[in-house]
Amino acid sequence: MATEVLTFGCRLNAFESEVIRGHAAAAGLDDAVIVNTCAVTKEAERQARQAIRRARRDHPEARLIVTGCAAQIDPARYAAMPEVDLVLGNDEKMKPESYDSSKRAEGARIKVGDIMALTETAAHLVDGFEGRARAFIEVQQGCDHRCTFCIIPYGRGNSRSVPVGEIVRQAERLVVAGYRELVLTGVDITSFGGDLPGQPNLGQLCRRLLALVPDLERLRLSSIDPIEIDDTLWRLIGEEPRLMPHLHLSVQAGDDMILKRMKRRHLRADALAACQRARELRPDIALGADMIAGFPTEDETMFARSVAFVGEAALDYLHVFPFSARPGTPAARMPQVPGNIVKERAAKLREAGAASTARALTARTGTIAQVLVEKEGFGHSEHYAPVRFTGTAEIGSIAPVRIAEAVRDALSGVIA
């Protein structure tokens, strides 16, 4: 069998899985399964462990390698699984020599270094993304902030930026390969450039990328902090049609006390102001957010402010995470909300998100959406709304679709 790469979690992992795939192929590694894990929630880790056990059942003779954030944070746990042959850290997984079959007999089953000791990140060029119509570009790694609920800095290390020239090279390569839409991704992309000469910010990176890669049709950003949008990026949001009218905001809560206990960098008013400014600059922009339900010490009044935030910000969609205590984080030591209440609040927050999505999608009926076709009859619009359509369009193309109606959580229409 050819080497199979199973990816969990974020878009950065999706990018890194393509690098891993390339390294494994170049090293001649076959009959292997590589599991690229996520550690953002307990559920993400549970799914990864389940996939590891399933992979061993399906491929009893394969070499099974586990890597990613969960493996970086707790390598011994994964090495102890009888299904696993090798555990690689997040730095090691990006090195070609980690997949050299001639070195299989060397050393321990765990190859995980000190991620906090890294001070820079190497650029990695990929030619495409298996099974995906849009491509991702890593612009930075790691995070210098220490939100009390988050374990990811211990899996990714401190913030490290990819040089602008390398990002431009990667974008050019992907555009030549036929990708119409690129997504800038990382752990904390609004911190981009702080460690580079001249300290370019995210907005300056976007401006240079759009200027130097004129054939790039659509540029999209992954999750950003609402308070860290720089002035150049605000100008691009208002003026640059190739920067997609879509922002995904890392909000996490709508109550100031909870935000402070999370050690976030914004307050409720800051997040609302960012939403308002975005809409003033670009009235048709789509806004989404991540929010956590049941954070420690959250009472009913605090939770009600988070629910109200969804409507006040007029969000187009919401990603809800029931609070998941991560061992080693300050939030895990705070007074916990009972699990049944966390579950109830997550359901209520999802209901508020679903109502907000229904309103936003209904408002887009009668328009013509420019849809990136991802599979037959389906894609995402420039606003990142899911669109089901009738008519023929090539996968990877951008098709104009006349939106007839909103059906549940998606738009429906016909190619114009």
Over residues 252-260, mean pLDDT: 98
Residue 384 has pLDDT above 80, yes or no: yes
Residue 104 has pLDDT above 70, yes or no: no
Tens-digit pLDDT profile for residues 185-228: 999 999 999 999 999 999 999 999 999 999 999 999 999 999 99
The Cα–Cα gap between 349 and 318 comes to: 9
Average pLDDT of the residues in 317-332: 94
The H-or-E segment that residue 238 falls in is: helix 231-239
Give the model's pLDDT for residue 102: 60
Whole-angstrom distance, CA of residue 267 vs CA of residue 27: 49
Instruction: Assign 232 to helix, strand or coil.
Output: helix
Residue with tokens 């991704």: 185
State how far the Cα of 11 lies from the Cα of 183, in Å rounded to an integer.
Answer: 9
pLDDT at res. 329: 94
pLDDT digits (tens, 9 = 90+) for 123-139: 777 777 877 899 999 99
What local confidence, expressed as pLDDT, does residue 99 receive? 86
What is the model's pLDDT at position 42? 85
**Is residue 105 scored above 60 in pLDDT?**
no
- The three-class DSSP label of residue 181 is strand
Token pair listed for 279 = 């809409």
Structure tokens at 174: 């992907």
Band (103; pLDDT cuts 50, 70, 90): low
In this predicted structure, what is the pLDDT of residue 106? 55
Using N-to-C axis directions, what is the helix angle for 231-239 and 202-212, rounded to 10°? 40
Return the closest-CA partner of residue 78 out of 116, 101, 111, 106: 111
Prediction pTM value? 0.90
